[in-house]
Amino acid sequence: MEKLPLDALPDALPDAIDEDKYVICTYYVGLPPFMDAREMAHAAAIEQSTGTWTLVPGETPEVRRRHVAKVIGVYEVPQHEYSYPKDLERREYIMQVAYPWKNFGAQIPMLLSTVIGNISLYGRIKCLDMKFPKSWLKGFKGPKFGIKGLRNLLKIKKRPILNNMVKPCVYTSCQMGADLAYEAAAGGADIIKDDELLANPDFNTLEDRIPRFMEALDRADSEKGEKTIYTVNITDSLPRMFENAERAIELGANGLMINFLAVGYSAFRHVSENLAPKVPLLAHMDVTGALSYSPIVGISSNIVTGKLPRICGSDITVFPAPYGKAPVLRERFLNVAHDMIMPLHNIEQTAPMPSGGISPGHVEEVVNDLGLDIVIGTGAGIHAHPMGPRAGAIAFRQAFDAKMQGIPVSKYAKEEGHEELKAAMASWGSGKTGADF
C-alpha cells in the first residue's frame, strides 16, 4: 500500500471525499484485540471494490483512483488510548466505508453484493446504515402513491388507515375468503390484504379469488360509502410473478402485494415501476429476521425493511410492531418507521404498516408512537372478534374515533353505542397479545 499514491489508497478523510459519488456504509465490527482494525478495514474495502488478497498487475493506481472503496472512519467503542485490559476478548468498532456508486449503478443486487458481499463471511460484521447520495437516488422512482397518494385514493383526510389481513392465512374456499373480506370492509377496513402465505395455489387461484373479492368489496363500498383496496398477493417464481401482476390487474385488482425479500428487491422494483403504474404496491417483510435479527451480523432492519423497499417503490411496507405478538424492540421499530417517512430527496414516503397481534386496544399507543400517517395492520384483531369480523373492524374505527377526539380508548369503549370496542377491550385489553418471546 505504501508504494501507491495517497489518492489511490483504500483510505480517505471523510472531509475530503465527494459524497455525491459514493454510497457510504456504516458497520459494527468486532475483532480480536491483536488484530489491526484499520488494516482489516482496508482489506475489506479492497475486497469489495478493486482487489483481492494480494495486489495484481491490473490493479494500477489509475484503476484504484477510479474504483477503490475508501475507509473513512474507524472508531473503537469504547476507545482505548494507551492500553487495553489484558483479559479483553474483543475490541468493537464502528467503521465507515465509502463505495464509488459508479461501480454498481442505480440497482440493488450489485449494491448489496458490494457493501455486504464477501465481507459478510468475516465474522462479527453488521451493516448498520447506508447513506445514499442524491445522484444515486435519481435512478429510482420510489413509491407511486405513498402516504399522500393513499389518502387521496381512499379519500381519508387525517385518521389512520385500517388494513385487514384475511384469516385464516391459508384456506381453500375463495368464496369464504371473499365473505370474510366483505364483512371486514363493510365494518370499516380500508384495505383488505391477502396473507403472505397465500398467493396463487392450485386450490385458491388468482383467477378464482380476485373476481369474488372485488365483487364483495364493491358491495361493501356501496354500503359504507367508502372505497376499499384489495392488495392481492402475486408472489411467485419469475417470470410468473410478473405475469401474475398483469393478470391480477386485468381481473380487476386495485392493489398488489409482494413478499419482497422472498423474490428480491429488483423483482419488486420491476413490478412497481413497469407493471403496476396505477395501483398501490404493498411490501410484506417476511424473511426480515433472517437478515436483521442477529445483533452482530447481517443488515439492520431499518435498511432491509425501511429504506430499500421504499427506494424500490413500496407504497405500504408491513413491519413487526412491539405491541402484539412480534419479538421486536420498540427503538428498532421506531427506527424502521423513521426511514420510511423522513425526507429522502426525490423518493416519496412509504406508509408504515405496523402489524403482528395488534388489537383495538393498541391504537392509542401506535398513534402516539408513529402519528396518524400510518396503516394499521390487523388480522385476528378483526376476524377473532367475539361479535364477528364486521364488529372487529367497527371496533378499530371506534378506537380511531376515540384517538382523534382525544378520548382514552378504554373510556370510549364504555360509552353507549360502542359495544364492538367494549367487546374487543374485554377480550384483549391493551396489553401484549399472542406469543410473548
Q: Which amino acid is at 21?
A: K
Domain count for the chain, please give it.
2
> What per-residue confidence (pLDDT) applies to 357?
93
Same domain, 80 and 155: no
Q: Is the residue at 1 inside a domain?
A: no
> What per-residue confidence (pLDDT) applies to 3?
72
* Cell 483479559 belongs to residue: 87
Neighbour tally for 81: CB within 10 Å: 7
Nearest to 311 by CA among 355, 349, 354, 276: 349
Q: Report how far residue 404's alpha carbon sits from residue 397's, in angstroms, rounded to the nearest whole number.
A: 10
Given 137, 171, 193, which residue is the final one in a domain?
Answer: 137
Q: Is 366 helix (H, G, I), strand (E, B) or coil?
A: helix
| Residue 74, beta-bridge partner list | 95
248-299 pLDDT tens trace:
999 999 999 999 999 999 999 999 999 998 999 999 999 999 999 999 999 9
Same domain, 128 and 169: no
Rg (CA), the chain: 24
Give this prediction's pTM.
Answer: 0.94
Active site residue 284: yes
Given 97, 112, 137, which residue is the final one in a domain?
Answer: 137
Nearest to 418 by CA among 426, 181, 223: 426
Q: Report how far residue 390's alpha carbon sits from residue 401's, in angstroms, rounded to the nearest whole number.
A: 17
Q: Which residue out of 42, 167, 383, 422 is catalytically annotated?
A: 167
> What per-residue confidence (pLDDT) applies to 86?
86
Report phi then psi at 354, rounded to 5: -65, 140
Mean pLDDT per block of 10 residues along the chain (437 residues) reads 78 96 98 94 93 86 92 95 89 97 98 96 96 98 96 98 96 94 98 96 96 98 98 98 98 98 98 95 96 97 98 98 90 97 98 96 97 97 97 98 97 96 94 62
Give residue 318's domain range. 146-425
| Residue 39's CATH number | 3.30.70.150
Q: Report how far residue 131's alpha carbon sits from residue 21's, in angstroms, rounded to the nearest whole number.
A: 11
201-211 pLDDT tens trace:
999 999 999 99
For residue 143, give the DSSP letter: -
Same domain, 174 and 223: yes
| Residue 371's CATH number | 3.20.20.110
* Helical ranges in 116-155 per DSSP H: 134-137, 146-154
Q: Is the residue at 300 inside a domain?
A: yes
| Residue 164, beta-bridge partner list | 192, 378
Q: Which residue out of 42, 126, 270, 284 is catalytically annotated?
A: 284
Q: Is the residue at 413 inside a domain?
A: yes
User: Cis omega before residue 168 (within 30°)?
Assistant: yes
Extract the C-alpha cell encoding 244.
401474475
101 near 139, Cβ under 8 Å?
Answer: no
> What per-residue confidence (pLDDT) applies to 82?
87
Q: Is the residue at 352 inside a domain?
A: yes
In which element (H, E) is residue 338 found? Answer: helix 330-341
Same domain, 187 and 215: yes
Q: Is the residue at 433 inside a domain?
A: no
29 near 99, Cβ under 8 Å?
Answer: no
Extract the C-alpha cell encoding 363.
391504537
For residue 102, give the DSSP letter: G
Same domain, 212 and 291: yes
Per-residue buried b or exposed e for 162-198, using 16+ beta carbons within 10 Å of the residue's own CB: bbbbbbeeeeeebeebbbbbbbbbbbbbbbbbbbbeb
> What per-residue confidence (pLDDT) applies to 437?
40
Q: Report how far residue 122's alpha carbon sits from residue 115's, in angstroms, rounded to the nearest whole number.
A: 13
Same domain, 294 and 383: yes
Active site residue 345: no
> What per-residue confidence (pLDDT) applies to 435?
55
Q: Report how far residue 246's alpha carbon sits from residue 252's, in angstroms, rounded to the nearest whole number.
A: 10
